[in-house]
């Protein structure tokens, strides 16, 4: 059967979404100190109650020193979910996103060696192995076994908080060079204990976190609570090979066999990308080894209705990042048959309409920013503007 963007999709545990558009987790750097939700955060997510049928809130770090990993705005951080005090702000996000009947999830994560903010401000950056990462300007410490177990418990606690905050699910962040991927990588994980070495050992942390998250979900969540896993298909940087697509396909197959994941989310800049020398995309390779009831989400370069529809040739759901940053009614317009009305270029006026937090405007108005928004030349003049500009007319 041909998939359509307006199809209702039912996940394996019963949750339904009206449409195949997903807003993927994207950092806003709008949080207050220690990752608490700010008014800028709420404004941004309130504007996106109709951006997609399923919105996955940006990564929230699960434990002290587990983030932030990127802070490009003064006095702003990534969001956290590491204490019960964070539940109130997160619940406001969940309520805002679900106001029009769509589903809201939150991504949970530990940044590992990428926790550059604490590392530069009196904290620590922990990794499976304390090797020399030449691209980092701060020291990395090897995480102890006791600390590993603390992080595993923290993922369970974060899941409980997500449930209490009213989210419809959690996504475990196993991609983008954060702690999950660092344990899986043969390059960054050079341990000789039970947490490193063989495939079995390098996936032990992943399995332990999965076990804890699903334990909490079974005990405390509604029956239709959604659990997803995000993965980067390869880690190859010149001579440094962390893992290949064969390795990640094996992991995806094991995740599908051992756990009741509702979906696997393939993290890449191009939804149609293929491994070198292969005829199938990463998503197509994963589809071959996953149970039918596990949905696949692709992301990367899906900026309009035509590309979103094409993405369904490779997966079940199309995640639209930059498109929903520019037009917070991207999904609504598709569901109403108005895909031609989607705004595809950013502008100073659209910055205000889309309620982009000041930190995102600072980022995307930087001419040196490699990940570009269409029309970005029109907002170069906003770079470094006082943040009150962005709130004008809110």
**Dihedral Cα 194, 195, 197, 199, nearest 10 deg:** 100
Q: What is the mean pLDDT of residues 105-122?
A: 93
DSSP assignment, residue 339?
G
Q: Would residue 137 count as lying in a domain?
A: yes
Neighbours of 310 (CB within 10 A): 14
Report yes or no on 176 lying in a domain.
Answer: yes
The overall average pLDDT reported for the chain is 94
In a domain, 199, yes or no: yes
**Is the pLDDT higher at 365 or at 164?**
164
**Percent of the chain residues topping a pLDDT of 90:** 84
| 366 within a domain of the structure (yes/no) | no
d(CA 347, CA 355): 12
Q: What is the SS3 assignment for 39? A: helix
| Per-residue pLDDT at 371 | 76
The more confident residue out of 392 and 334 is 334
pLDDT in the model for residue 68: 83
**Per-residue pLDDT for 393 more than 50?**
no
pLDDT on residue 357: 92
> Is 1 contained in some domain?
no
Q: Is pLDDT at 143 greater than 60 in this prediction?
A: yes
Give residue 190's domain range.
8-344
Q: What is the largest CA-CA distance in the chain?
A: 57
Is residue 70 scored above 80 in pLDDT?
Answer: no
> How large is the average pLDDT for residues 229-244?
96
- Other beta carbons within 10 angstroms of residue 328's beta carbon come to 25
CATH of the domain at 224: 3.20.20.70
d(CA 37, CA 316): 32
**pLDDT tens column, 26-49:** 999 999 989 999 999 999 999 999
Percent of the chain clearing pLDDT 70 (strictly above): 95
Q: Is 286 a catalytic residue?
A: no
362-389: per-residue pLDDT in tens?
888 888 888 789 999 999 988 866 554 4
Give residue 368's pLDDT: 84
Residue 386 located in a structural domain? no
DSSP characters over 96-157: HHTTTS-EEEEEEE--GGG-HHHHHTT---EESS----TT-SS--EEPPHHHHHHHHHHHHH
How far apart (Å, rounded) are the C-alpha atoms in residues 189 and 181?
9
pLDDT value, residue 390: 41
pLDDT bucket at 145, cuts 50 / 70 / 90: very high
In this prediction, residues 269-298 reach a mean pLDDT of: 98
User: What is the Cα Rg of the chain in Å?
Assistant: 20
Give how many domains the chain has, as a whole number. 1
Distance CA 281, CA 298 (A): 10
pLDDT tens by residue, 74-109: 567 899 999 999 999 999 999 999 999 999 999 999
Which stretch of DSSP H or E encloses residue 68? none
Is there a domain that residue 3 lies in? no
Q: Which residue of the set 44, 59, 178, 282 is catalytic?
A: 178
* Domain membership flag for residue 375: no
**Is the distance from CB of 316 to CB of 20 less than 8 angstroms?**
yes
């Amino acid at each position: 059967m041909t998939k359509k963007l307006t199809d209702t999709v039912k996940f394996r545990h019963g949750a339904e979404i009206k449409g195949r558009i997903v807003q993927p987790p994207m950092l806003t750097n709008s949080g207050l100190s220690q990752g608490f939700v700010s008014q800028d955060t709420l404004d941004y997510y309130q504007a996106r109650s109709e951006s997609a049928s399923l919105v996955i809130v940006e990564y929230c770090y699960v434990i002290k020193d587990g983030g932030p990993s990127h802070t490009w705005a003064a006095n702003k951080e990534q969001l956290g979910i590491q204490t019960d005090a964070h539940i109130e702000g997160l619940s406001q996000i969940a309520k805002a996103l679900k106001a029009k009947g769509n589903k809201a999830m939150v991504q949970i994560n530990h940044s590992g060696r990428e926790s550059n903010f604490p590392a530069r401000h009196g904290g620590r950056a922990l990794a499976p192995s304390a090797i020399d990462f030449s691209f980092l300007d701060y020291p990395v410490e090897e995480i102890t076994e006791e600390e590993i177990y603390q992080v595993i418990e923290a993922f369970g606690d974060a899941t409980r908080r997500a449930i209490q905050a009213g989210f419809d699910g959690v996504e475990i962040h196993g991609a983008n060079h954060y702690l999950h991927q660092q344990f899986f990588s043969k390059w960054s994980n050079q341990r000789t204990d039970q947490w490193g070495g063989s495939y079995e050992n390098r996936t032990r942390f992943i399995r332990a976190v999965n076990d804890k998250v699903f334990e909490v979900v079974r005990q405390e969540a509604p029956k239709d609570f959604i659990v997803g896993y995000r993965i980067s298909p390869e880690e190859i940087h010149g001579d440094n090979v962390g893992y290949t697509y064969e390795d990640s396909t094996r992991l995806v197959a094991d995740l599908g066999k051992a756990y009741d994941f509702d979906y696997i989310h393939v993290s890449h800049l191009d939804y149609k990308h293929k491994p070198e020398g292969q005829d199938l995309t990463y998503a197509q390779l994963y589809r071959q080894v996953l149970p039918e009831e596990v949905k696949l989400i692709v992301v990367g370069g899906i900026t309009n209705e035509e590309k979103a529809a094409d993405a369904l040739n490779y997966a079940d759901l199309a995640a639209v990042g930059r498109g929903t940053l520019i037009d917070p009614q991207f999904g609504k317009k598709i569901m109403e048959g108005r895909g031609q009305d989607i705004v595809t270029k950013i502008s100073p006026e659209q910055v205000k309409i889309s309620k982009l937090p000041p930190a995102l405007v600072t980022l995307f108005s930087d001419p040196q920013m490699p990940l570009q928004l269409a029309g970005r030349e029109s907002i170069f003049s906003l770079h470094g503007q006082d943040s009150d500009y962005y709130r004008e007319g809110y």
